[in-house]
Protein backbone atom coordinates (compact mmCIF):
# COMPACT_ATOMS: atom_id res chain seq x y z
CA UNK A 1 0.00 0.00 0.00
CA UNK A 2 1.94 2.98 -1.19
CA UNK A 3 1.43 6.58 -0.15
CA UNK A 4 -1.26 8.50 -1.96
CA UNK A 5 0.62 11.74 -2.25
CA UNK A 6 4.31 11.75 -2.96
CA UNK A 7 5.93 14.57 -1.00
CA UNK A 8 5.47 17.83 -2.89
CA UNK A 9 3.23 16.28 -5.51
CA UNK A 10 1.05 19.16 -6.38
CA UNK A 11 0.00 19.38 -9.99
CA UNK A 12 -0.89 16.23 -11.93
CA UNK A 13 -3.71 13.89 -10.92
CA UNK A 14 -4.02 15.39 -7.49
CA UNK A 15 -7.73 16.16 -7.65
CA UNK A 16 -10.44 15.29 -5.20
CA UNK A 17 -10.30 15.20 -1.45
CA UNK A 18 -7.89 13.04 0.49
CA UNK A 19 -10.79 11.24 2.13
CA UNK A 20 -12.15 10.18 -1.25
CA UNK A 21 -8.83 8.73 -2.24
CA UNK A 22 -8.41 6.87 1.02
CA UNK A 23 -11.85 5.37 0.44
CA UNK A 24 -10.85 4.25 -3.03
CA UNK A 25 -7.61 2.68 -1.92
CA UNK A 26 -9.14 0.85 0.99
CA UNK A 27 -12.15 -0.31 -0.99
CA UNK A 28 -9.88 -1.66 -3.69
CA UNK A 29 -7.78 -3.49 -1.12
CA UNK A 30 -10.80 -5.01 0.55
CA UNK A 31 -12.60 -6.04 -2.62
CA UNK A 32 -9.47 -7.57 -4.09
CA UNK A 33 -8.94 -9.58 -0.95
CA UNK A 34 -5.61 -7.94 -0.12
CA UNK A 35 -7.22 -7.03 3.18
CA UNK A 36 -8.92 -10.17 4.37
CA UNK A 37 -12.09 -10.17 6.42
CA UNK A 38 -11.38 -9.80 10.09
CA UNK A 39 -8.29 -7.69 9.49
CA UNK A 40 -7.91 -4.87 11.97
CA UNK A 41 -7.54 -1.43 10.46
CA UNK A 42 -5.48 0.74 12.79
CA UNK A 43 -5.95 4.39 12.01
CA UNK A 44 -2.39 5.42 12.77
CA UNK A 45 -0.92 2.61 10.73
CA UNK A 46 -3.10 3.39 7.73
CA UNK A 47 -2.34 7.08 8.06
CA UNK A 48 1.38 6.40 8.05
CA UNK A 49 1.19 4.00 5.11
CA UNK A 50 -0.86 6.39 3.01
CA UNK A 51 1.05 9.47 4.08
CA UNK A 52 -1.93 11.37 5.41
CA UNK A 53 -3.29 12.34 8.79
CA UNK A 54 -5.81 10.33 10.73
CA UNK A 55 -8.74 12.64 10.01
CA UNK A 56 -9.39 11.52 6.41
CA UNK A 57 -8.80 7.94 7.50
CA UNK A 58 -11.57 8.20 10.03
CA UNK A 59 -14.00 9.73 7.57
CA UNK A 60 -13.11 7.09 5.00
CA UNK A 61 -13.78 4.33 7.50
CA UNK A 62 -17.22 5.76 8.18
CA UNK A 63 -18.02 5.75 4.50
CA UNK A 64 -16.77 2.20 4.07
CA UNK A 65 -18.91 1.16 6.99
CA UNK A 66 -21.91 2.52 5.12
CA UNK A 67 -20.93 0.38 2.14
CA UNK A 68 -20.78 -2.63 4.39
CA UNK A 69 -17.07 -3.21 3.94
CA UNK A 70 -15.89 -2.49 7.47
CA UNK A 71 -17.42 -2.62 10.92
CA UNK A 72 -16.96 0.17 13.44
CA UNK A 73 -17.35 -0.06 17.18
CA UNK A 74 -16.54 3.01 19.20
CA UNK A 75 -13.14 3.04 20.83
CA UNK A 76 -12.16 -0.16 19.08
CA UNK A 77 -10.27 -0.49 15.86
CA UNK A 78 -12.18 -0.88 12.62
CA UNK A 79 -12.39 -4.38 11.23
CA UNK A 80 -12.85 -5.59 7.65
CA UNK A 81 -16.35 -6.99 7.80
CA UNK A 82 -17.30 -10.52 6.90
CA UNK A 83 -20.54 -12.02 5.71
CA UNK A 84 -22.02 -15.18 7.16
CA UNK A 85 -23.33 -17.92 4.90
CA UNK A 86 -26.82 -16.84 5.90
CA UNK A 87 -26.07 -13.29 4.86
CA UNK A 88 -24.87 -14.46 1.47
CA UNK A 89 -27.93 -16.64 0.94
CA UNK A 90 -30.11 -13.70 1.83
CA UNK A 91 -28.31 -11.51 -0.67
CA UNK A 92 -28.96 -13.99 -3.45
CA UNK A 93 -32.60 -14.14 -2.47
CA UNK A 94 -32.93 -10.38 -2.65
CA UNK A 95 -31.18 -10.38 -6.00
CA UNK A 96 -33.59 -12.97 -7.33
CA UNK A 97 -36.61 -10.92 -6.24
CA UNK A 98 -35.43 -7.56 -7.51
CA UNK A 99 -33.70 -8.64 -10.68
CA UNK A 100 -36.57 -10.70 -12.03
CA UNK A 101 -38.80 -7.74 -11.42
CA UNK A 102 -36.41 -5.34 -13.14
CA UNK A 103 -36.12 -7.68 -16.10
CA UNK A 104 -39.89 -7.84 -16.42
CA UNK A 105 -40.00 -4.05 -16.54
CA UNK A 106 -37.14 -3.58 -18.92
CA UNK A 107 -37.57 -6.47 -21.36
CA UNK A 108 -40.23 -4.86 -23.52
CA UNK A 109 -38.10 -1.74 -23.73
CA UNK A 110 -34.79 -3.32 -24.70
CA UNK A 111 -33.35 -1.96 -27.94
CA UNK A 112 -30.76 -3.37 -30.29
CA UNK A 113 -28.21 -1.01 -28.74
CA UNK A 114 -28.82 -2.62 -25.34
CA UNK A 115 -28.35 -6.10 -26.77
CA UNK A 116 -25.17 -5.04 -28.52
CA UNK A 117 -23.75 -3.65 -25.31
CA UNK A 118 -24.66 -6.79 -23.39
CA UNK A 119 -23.01 -8.99 -26.00
CA UNK A 120 -19.93 -6.83 -25.97
CA UNK A 121 -19.68 -7.33 -22.21
CA UNK A 122 -20.17 -11.07 -22.58
CA UNK A 123 -17.34 -11.16 -25.09
CA UNK A 124 -15.06 -9.34 -22.70
CA UNK A 125 -15.95 -11.78 -19.95
CA UNK A 126 -15.14 -14.74 -22.16
CA UNK A 127 -11.70 -13.33 -22.92
CA UNK A 128 -10.73 -12.74 -19.33
CA UNK A 129 -8.25 -15.16 -17.90
CA UNK A 130 -7.75 -12.87 -14.99
CA UNK A 131 -10.50 -12.91 -12.46
CA UNK A 132 -10.30 -9.55 -10.79
CA UNK A 133 -12.58 -7.79 -13.24
CA UNK A 134 -14.96 -10.61 -13.90
CA UNK A 135 -17.36 -9.66 -11.15
CA UNK A 136 -17.39 -6.08 -12.31
CA UNK A 137 -18.20 -7.16 -15.87
CA UNK A 138 -20.81 -9.57 -14.59
CA UNK A 139 -22.54 -6.71 -12.84
CA UNK A 140 -22.31 -4.50 -15.89
CA UNK A 141 -23.89 -7.21 -18.01
CA UNK A 142 -26.84 -7.65 -15.70
CA UNK A 143 -27.21 -3.91 -15.21
CA UNK A 144 -27.25 -3.38 -18.97
CA UNK A 145 -30.29 -5.62 -19.25
CA UNK A 146 -32.12 -3.74 -16.52
CA UNK A 147 -31.22 -0.23 -17.63
CA UNK A 148 -34.35 0.51 -19.69
CA UNK A 149 -36.50 -0.07 -16.60
CA UNK A 150 -35.20 3.24 -15.28
CA UNK A 151 -34.93 2.26 -11.66
CA UNK A 152 -31.71 3.98 -10.60
CA UNK A 153 -32.12 3.43 -6.88
CA UNK A 154 -32.82 -0.25 -7.31
CA UNK A 155 -29.76 -0.59 -9.51
CA UNK A 156 -27.63 1.20 -6.96
CA UNK A 157 -28.91 -1.08 -4.26
CA UNK A 158 -28.12 -4.15 -6.32
CA UNK A 159 -24.67 -2.83 -7.16
CA UNK A 160 -23.83 -2.75 -3.48
CA UNK A 161 -25.10 -6.29 -3.04
CA UNK A 162 -22.94 -7.52 -5.92
CA UNK A 163 -19.88 -5.79 -4.47
CA UNK A 164 -20.37 -7.30 -1.08
CA UNK A 165 -21.25 -10.77 -2.25
CA UNK A 166 -18.40 -11.51 -4.57
CA UNK A 167 -15.49 -10.58 -2.41
CA UNK A 168 -16.39 -13.30 0.06
CA UNK A 169 -15.68 -16.05 -2.39
CA UNK A 170 -11.97 -16.80 -2.36
CA UNK A 171 -10.48 -16.98 -5.82
CA UNK A 172 -10.24 -20.76 -6.16
CA UNK A 173 -13.94 -21.05 -5.41
CA UNK A 174 -14.90 -18.47 -7.95
CA UNK A 175 -12.86 -20.21 -10.61
CA UNK A 176 -14.33 -23.64 -10.02
CA UNK A 177 -17.80 -22.16 -10.27
CA UNK A 178 -17.74 -23.08 -13.92
CA UNK A 179 -17.45 -19.89 -15.87
CA UNK A 180 -18.45 -21.78 -19.00
CA UNK A 181 -21.76 -22.62 -17.44
CA UNK A 182 -22.18 -18.96 -16.45
CA UNK A 183 -21.45 -18.02 -20.03
CA UNK A 184 -24.04 -20.41 -21.43
CA UNK A 185 -26.66 -19.13 -19.01
CA UNK A 186 -25.94 -15.54 -19.89
CA UNK A 187 -26.25 -16.33 -23.58
CA UNK A 188 -29.53 -18.13 -23.03
CA UNK A 189 -30.84 -15.21 -21.01
CA UNK A 190 -30.07 -12.86 -23.88
CA UNK A 191 -31.76 -15.20 -26.36
CA UNK A 192 -34.91 -15.42 -24.28
CA UNK A 193 -35.03 -11.65 -24.03
CA UNK A 194 -34.69 -11.30 -27.78
CA UNK A 195 -37.53 -13.75 -28.26
CA UNK A 196 -39.64 -11.63 -25.97
CA UNK A 197 -40.58 -14.55 -23.78
CA UNK A 198 -40.93 -12.70 -20.52
CA UNK A 199 -42.03 -15.63 -18.38
CA UNK A 200 -39.27 -17.98 -19.47
CA UNK A 201 -36.68 -15.25 -19.24
CA UNK A 202 -37.70 -14.43 -15.69
CA UNK A 203 -37.71 -18.07 -14.68
CA UNK A 204 -34.31 -18.60 -16.23
CA UNK A 205 -32.87 -15.53 -14.52
CA UNK A 206 -34.19 -16.70 -11.18
CA UNK A 207 -32.59 -20.10 -11.66
CA UNK A 208 -29.40 -18.47 -12.83
CA UNK A 209 -29.14 -16.44 -9.66
CA UNK A 210 -30.33 -18.98 -7.11
CA UNK A 211 -28.87 -22.16 -8.53
CA UNK A 212 -25.67 -20.46 -9.63
CA UNK A 213 -25.07 -19.48 -6.04
CA UNK A 214 -25.73 -22.95 -4.68
CA UNK A 215 -22.38 -24.63 -5.50
CA UNK A 216 -20.41 -21.55 -4.47
CA UNK A 217 -22.16 -21.43 -1.13
CA UNK A 218 -21.78 -25.11 -0.34
CA UNK A 219 -18.07 -25.00 -1.15
CA UNK A 220 -17.67 -21.94 1.02
CA UNK A 221 -19.61 -23.62 3.80
CA UNK A 222 -17.29 -26.61 3.69
CA UNK A 223 -14.25 -24.34 3.56
CA UNK A 224 -15.30 -22.41 6.62
CA UNK A 225 -16.06 -25.51 8.61
CA UNK A 226 -12.64 -27.02 8.08
CA UNK A 227 -10.70 -23.79 7.94
CA UNK A 228 -11.34 -22.62 11.46
CA UNK A 229 -7.64 -22.51 12.22
CA UNK A 230 -5.98 -19.16 11.61
Binding interface with a copy of itself (CB under 8 A): 16-17, 20, 55, 58-59, 62-63, 65-67, 74-75, 87, 90-91, 93-94, 97-98, 101, 151-154, 157
Write down the least CB distance from residue 69 to DNA, Å. 16
Q: Which is nearer to a copy of itself, 10 or 76 (CB)?
A: 76
Q: Which is nearer to DNA, 65 or 119 (CB)?
A: 65
Q: Which is nearer to a copy of itself, 95 or 204 (CB)?
A: 95
Residue 153 near which of a copy of itself, DNA, none (CB within 5-8 Å, type-dependent): a copy of itself
Answer for the pair 94, 153: CB distance below 8 angstroms, yes or no: no
Write down the least CB distance from residue 39 to DNA, Å. 12
Write the burial class of residue 73 (CB in 10 Å: 0-12 exposed, 13-18 middle, 19+ buried). exposed
DSSP codes joined into one string, 105-154: HHGGG--HHHHHHHHHHHHHHHH--SSTTHHHHHHHHHHHHHGGG--HHH
Write down the least CB distance from residue 201 to a copy of itself, Å. 17
Residue 101 near which of DNA, a copy of itself, none (CB within 5-8 Å, type-dependent): a copy of itself
Separation between Cα atoms, residue 151 and residue 161, nearest integer Å: 16
Write down the least CB distance from residue 99 to a copy of itself, Å. 10
In the complex, the residues that contact DNA under the rule CB under 7 A are 17-19, 40-44, 52-56, 58-59, 72, 74-78
Answer for the pair 37, 80: CB distance below 8 angstroms, yes or no: yes
Q: How far is CA 52 from the centre of its chain?
A: 28
Please list the residues that pair with 71 across neighbouring strands: 79
Write down the least CB distance from residue 112 to DNA, Å. 40
Amino acid sequence: MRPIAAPADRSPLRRGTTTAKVVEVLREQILSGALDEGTQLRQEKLAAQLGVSRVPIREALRQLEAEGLVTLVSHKSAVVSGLSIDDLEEIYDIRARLETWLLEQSMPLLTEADYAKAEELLAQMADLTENQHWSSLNWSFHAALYAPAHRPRTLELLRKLYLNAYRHFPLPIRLTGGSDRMHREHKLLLDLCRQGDIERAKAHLEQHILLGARPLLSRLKALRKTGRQE
